[in-house]
Amino acid sequence: MPIYEFKCTNCTKEFDELVSISAEKKPPCPSCRSEKVEKKMSACAGFSGSSGGSCNGSSGFS
């Protein structure tokens, strides 16, 4: 299940949320409970430590 990054447009709080692919609705802001949140694309959130490393610009291949 992917982790998406969201940013609240009301209080500018940024937070991560586990969302299923089929669920298109956005979670409310954990800070101010506003539903005015933007989904941010985050390709590698939640996959740190894997052997892929495609998201790590600095470490790369070894």
- Per-position x/- string for 2-41, each x denoting binding to Zn ion as judged by CB under 5 A, each - no binding: ------x-xx-x---------------x-xx-x-------
Name which of 9 and 54 has its Cβ closer to Zn ion.
9
- Amino acid identity at 42: S
Under 8 Å between Cβ of 15 and 32:
no
Under 8 Å between Cβ of 43 and 4:
no
To the nearest whole angstrom, how small is the minimum distance from the Cβ of residue 43 to Zn ion? 24
* Cα–Cα distance, 39 to 56 (Å, whole number): 21
Task: Enumerate binding residues for Zn ion (CB under 5 A).
Answer: 8, 10-11, 13, 29, 31-32, 34
